[in-house]
Structure 1
Amino acid sequence: MILYLNGMFVGLLILANIVAVKLFSVGTFAMLPAAVIVYIFTYPIIDVIVEVYGRDEARRTVKAGLFTQVLALIFITITIQLPAAPVFGAQDSFETILGGSFRVILASLISYAISQNLDVFVFNKLKKKHGAKKLWLRNNASTMLSQLVDTSIFITIAFVGTMPVSALIGLIFTQYIFKFFAAILTTPLVYLLVGLIRKKEAPAAFQG
């Protein structure tokens, strides 16, 4: 199952980067990048990996995700720079969708590396403290804290200097509120995946 979890994790990361240019509205409350709909599911997957396979396996998954994102960025840049064929009339759209600014890409990579490793660290600490009990607590606590760090770092690096500080704080707040409630709603998914994996691979897969 770890191969499937790793595949889903990396796939969701790449997909989040692709759809990030699309903005959507949540009523009149907030405007959010479509990437948040995808990216929020990476944290439950990492939590499941820590819970069942251990901290070291989760760290390897995070590293693989970072490596894959950098690799994807390199190849996307190469494909953008390839001379367009005469019959291909969508070069501008292609660049708009896939060619994010360097500052946004840098913000994404830095926030990812810090927040995902923080998620692993906090979840593992709580697991050592509570054992197999209170999965809901370590899942939500680690995810909510990591999402706050991720949102704050990304928006600050990507947009500081381009808007007033008050607008920057408002952007962080509205995005985090969405992610906060998303973390709660994805908790049953964590229980479902952990239960399925333990049932399928127990006792070998269960770490503590």
Structure 2
Amino acid sequence: MNEQPTRIEGQAGGRAHFRYFDLIMAAFVAILLLSNIIGASKPSFVTLPGGQEWSFGAGVLFFPLSYIIGDVLTEVYGYAHARRVIWTGFAALIFMAFMAWVVVALPPAQGWPHQGAYEAVFGNSWRIVLASITAFWAGEFANSYVLARMKLWTRGKLLWTRTIGSTVVGQGLDSLIFYPLAFYGLAGWPPEQLAQVVASQWLIKTAWEALLTPATYVAVNWLKHREGVEVFDTDTDFSPFAKSR
């Protein structure tokens, strides 16, 4: 596939107008919030060929899509624009956690029988909330940084190497932070099982990225052509706290 768009820029720190950036940011935040609300609390399983049940967190089916969108954002619009999206998602997660805490804490109206179910679904402990937000922040910034750096090293070629390579780092850091921070030391979570869950979640998320590589190529090339831009972060400040121009 042709990876060369119509215009080359040195970096994307400016506030250039892009037609699809806001839509992609909205999709990123929506998937991030929905995967945490709907999928995070439910374990599911698949039956292996030998008849053994293998459990996994249901959210792992959709949460990796946020990383794929993060790859597309960094590849097409550059690290500085991806940084704005990551901070937007971070703020949305904090507000979601605060809203869930307030709504769960409100006394239910007399006769409403679902408070227990509501608490079971939305009443996450402070450890899980802190672990989720911290893991997202660290993993997404690592993912974006590695992709932007690898784009410079590969001179914009071999897109698959940087989408998969950045996911290996970002998703690995995400899983390594979330599960120990959320569950270490709790009953039912022996260290051996915790390590297995970390490894399996990392492998599943990375496998999703590899499997969807053809779709990533299509999205990246289409956006580069439509936006008329190719961003190389040659002069970008990679600090997560730097301000975009």
Q: TM-score, normalised by structure 1?
A: 0.93
- With 39-48 and 73-82 compared, the bigger mean Cα shift is at 73-82
- The amino acid of 1:82's aligned partner reads L
* Alpha-carbon separation, structure 2, partners of 1:80 and 1:160: 25
**Which secondary structure state, in structure 2, belongs to the residue aligned with residue 45 of structure 1?**
helix
* Alpha-carbon separation, structure 2, partners of 1:32 and 1:156: 16
Q: Quick one: which of 120, 125, 134 aligns to 1:96?
A: 120
- The amino acid of 1:181's aligned partner reads A
1:42 counterpart = 2:66 = yes
5+ residue gaps in structure 2? 1-19, 233-245
Question: Following TM superposition, where does structure 1 have runs of at least 4 consecutive aligned residues deviating by more than 6 angstroms?
Answer: none
Greater relative contact order (Cα < 8 A, sep 6+)? 2
**Which secondary structure state, in structure 2, belongs to the residue aligned with residue 183 of structure 1?**
helix
Aligned residues between the structures: 206
What fraction of aligned residue pairs are identical, expressed as a percent? 29
- With 15-24 and 115-124 compared, the bigger mean Cα shift is at 15-24
Q: Quick one: which of 91, 94, 105 aligns to 2:129?
A: 105
* Alpha-carbon separation, structure 1, partners of 2:77 and 2:99: 32
Contact 1:47-1:123 at 8 Å conserved across structures: yes
Q: Deviations over 1:116-140 (max 9, x none)?
A: 0000110010011112211100000
**Which secondary structure state, in structure 1, belongs to the residue aligned with residue 45 of structure 2?**
strand
Contact 1:30-1:174 at 8 Å conserved across structures: no
* Alpha-carbon separation, structure 2, partners of 1:180 and 1:47: 13
User: Once the 2 structures are TM-superposed, how far is the Cα of residue 29 of structure 1 from its aligned partner?
Assistant: 5.8
User: Once the 2 structures are TM-superposed, how far is the Cα of residue 181 of structure 1 from its aligned partner?
Assistant: 1.3
- The amino acid of 2:173's aligned partner reads V
Q: 2:25 aligns to what? A: 6
Which of 1 and 2 has greater Rg?
2
Q: Deviations over 1:31-84 (max 9, x none)?
A: 111111121001111111111111100011111100010011111111112222
Question: Structure 1 or 2: larger helix share?
Answer: 1
Q: TM-score, normalised by structure 2?
A: 0.80
1:139 counterpart = 2:159 = no
Q: 2:89 aligns to what? A: 65
**Which secondary structure state, in structure 1, belongs to the residue aligned with residue 62 of structure 2?**
helix
- With 20-29 and 116-125 compared, the bigger mean Cα shift is at 20-29
5+ residue gaps in structure 1? none
